[in-house]
Amino acid sequence: MISAIFGGMPILLLAASLYWALRRRAGQRPAGTMSMSAFLACFAVAFSAYAPVVRTLEDSIALDFSRLVSNSATLSAAASVTSVLLFLNYPAAEARRRLRIRLRLLALAVATMTAAFALTPPSLVWSASEHQGSLDEAPVTLHLYSLAYICFLAYAIFDCLAQTWTRSRTATRTSQRVGLRTTAVGCVFALVYTTYKTINAVAATLGWEAIPGHDRCTSLITPVNCAFAVTAPAVSVLLITLGLTLPALLWPLTRYLQQRWELRSLADLEPLWLDLTAAMPGLVLQPDAATAEADFLLQRRVVEISDAVLALRPYRSLAVQQAATREVERHGLAGAAEGGAVVEAAVLAVALRTMVGGGCPESKHAPQAPGTEARAGDLRAETAWLRSVARAYAASSVVRSVRQLPLVPETANG
């Protein structure tokens, strides 16, 4: 199972990295895009070292060379995560300035690790020491290696947590907030890993092995050190990757659902809008040839219908509203939102017919539909309500029956 997990993860991560780097975008590439690509690519390299075939190939260069490659890639990935968050939290120029400081620290850590590894005799590297059962006799160079690795990784994780917290408080999209919180949980697992490494490094300098285990893991949690050395970083990578990519993955889906709702709303509103604007063409806003997006058109259409409803207020018949209410009750729709929409559609239909036919305004106006004030300023709620009214206007049998009622002269209303 270990081979399957760590053999497949690098492929998935590399594919995701290429997607971020090469995906075609409308307009200029967003700041931080390449940082995200680098983050995924670095983690792909880091986890490829766990694959037996890759590990054997890298160790053929020098014993435990795969560990140096994996650790260096892990630090680079941690810096890339911070870079992504910096570009989310700061303007591009400020983010680049802050990133340069972190890249210098990364270069110092990797250079220290490389020098320490190169100065360690092959007979004293990790695999040789573990094979001989002499982890407590590791040379100073390996302790220096561990110190450089742990210090930068811990710094990067705390930096990531700080940047994640800063961004999550100001994020406006739900998918982005969920993604940032998922990233934060991944950072917690990464902290478990760095704590494990720190404890083992300190214990090794004191001559004992704090968390005993063997070189090869038989599962994700056995021996016990595998839960900290293998599973914790693997889970952290999965959660951080998911957290940072979730908003980008959900945004196209969210946008598709939003556009579908907008198009359906436009289609539902069209019959009512056509009749109202045909009678009151002056309410139609001037067209904007440069903007023909569905959300823009929907907003204009809702405004135009709302203006038409206000213009019809003098013709809202209380008698028609009462007759439509009785019909709604007879059809078992009393108290339901659909019933209220049917009553409103009937009132508007008769009011429009009266105005177009040259009838006199009503002496007793029918009150506004329930919830009108509550929907004020809420475009989505107002759209949903007008969609219900428009559907009833076009298809309700109650509206058709009330439309057939004879017009009552103004004198009769007195």
The 10s digit of each residue's pLDDT in 294-317 is 888 888 899 999 999 989 999 998
Q: Determine the Cα–Cα distance for residues 57 and 64; give it in Å rounded to an integer.
A: 11
pLDDT of residue 412 exceeding 50, the answer is no
411 band by pLDDT with thresholds 50, 70 and 90? very low
Portion of the chain with pLDDT greater than 90, in percent: 16
131 band by pLDDT with thresholds 50, 70 and 90? very low
The contacts of residue 109 (CB under 8 Å, 6+ apart) are 75, 148, 149, 151, 152
pLDDT at 104: 94
pLDDT of residue 236 exceeding 80, the answer is yes
pLDDT at 225: 72
Encoded tokens for 64: 């435990």
Q: Determine the Cα–Cα distance for residues 279 and 352; give it in Å rounded to an integer.
A: 8
Assign 317 to helix, strand or coil: strand
pLDDT of residue 165 exceeding 70, the answer is yes
DSSP-derived secondary structure for 46-103: HHHTTSHHHHHHHHTTSTTHHHHHHHHHHHHHHHHHHHHHHHHHS-HHHHHHHHHHHH
Report the mean per-residue pLDDT for the chain: 80
Backbone angles phi, psi at 365, to 5 degrees: -80, 145
Portion of the chain with pLDDT greater than 70, in percent: 81
Assign 127 to helix, strand or coil: helix
108 band by pLDDT with thresholds 50, 70 and 90? very high
Q: Determine the Cα–Cα distance for residues 356 and 201; give it in Å rounded to an integer.
A: 87
pLDDT of residue 391 exceeding 90, the answer is yes
Task: Enter the DSSP assignment of 135.
Answer: G
Q: Which domains does the chain have, with CATH numbers?
A: 2-257 (1.20.1070), 280-413 (no CATH)
- Judged by average pLDDT, the poorest of 66-80, 95-109, 170-184 is 170-184
Upstream peptide bond of 223 is cis (omega within 30 degrees of 0):
yes
pLDDT at 180: 84
135 band by pLDDT with thresholds 50, 70 and 90? very low
Q: What's this model's pTM, rounded to 2 decimal places?
A: 0.57
Which H or E element spans position 200? Answer: helix 174-205
Encoded tokens for 272: 């009512």
pLDDT of residue 43 exceeding 90, the answer is no
3-state SS string for 227-256: HHHHHHHHHHHHHHHHHHHHHHHHHHHHHH
Q: Determine the Cα–Cα distance for residues 375 and 390; give it in Å rounded to an integer.
A: 17
Q: What letter represents residue 273's amino acid?
A: W
291 band by pLDDT with thresholds 50, 70 and 90? low
Instruction: Average the pLDDT over 86-92 and give the result.
Output: 82
The 10s digit of each residue's pLDDT in 244-289 is 777 777 777 888 888 899 999 999 999 999 999 999 988 887 765 5
